[in-house]
A = this chain, B = another copy of it.
C-alpha cells in the first residue's frame, strides 16, 4: 500500500472563488453546448446550481467570462468570451503543472 498526494487548486479574486475544477468543467461544457441549460444537463447538475456558479464567476472576474443572450432564436444561449477562454487555459496549465510538481514530491513520503 502506498500513500498518494492529492491536491486542489483554485483562483480567487477579492477572497471570492473565481475558478475551481467544477467551474472550469461548467465553462467547458458551455463552450461545447452553446447554452447554460444544456451544459447543466450534460454535467448532471440543476440549472439553478449551474446558474449560481456562472453568475459567481462572472461577478468576481475582472471581465465577463461569458456572454449570455435571452430570447430570440433558440431561446437564447451562452458562450465564452476570449477572456474566459484564456482564464480556462491558464487554470488548466497551472493545475497540470501542480500535479507534475507533486508527483516529484512523492519521494518525500514513499519511505514512510
Residues of B within 8 Å of A44, CB to CB, are none
Interface string of A71-82 (1 = CB under 8 A from B): 000000000000
Q: Does A70 contact B (CB under 8 A)?
A: no
Whether the Cβ atoms of A3 and B7 lie closer than 8 Å is no
**Contact mask A1-33 → B, CB, 8 Å, 1/0?**
111111111111110001000000000000000
A8: nearest chain-B partner, CB-CB: B8
Is A46 interfacial (CB-CB < 8 Å)? no
Residues of B within 8 A of A67 (CB): none
- Specify which chain B residues have a CB less than 8 angstroms from the CB of A14 in the assembled complex: 1
Q: What are 26 A-to-B residue pairs whose CB atoms are below 8 Å?
A: A1-B13, A1-B62, A2-B13, A3-B13, A3-B18, A5-B9, A5-B11, A5-B12, A5-B94, A7-B7, A7-B8, A7-B10, A7-B98, A8-B8, A8-B9, A83-B112, A90-B109, A93-B108, A94-B102, A94-B105, A94-B108, A94-B109, A97-B105, A98-B98, A98-B101, A101-B101
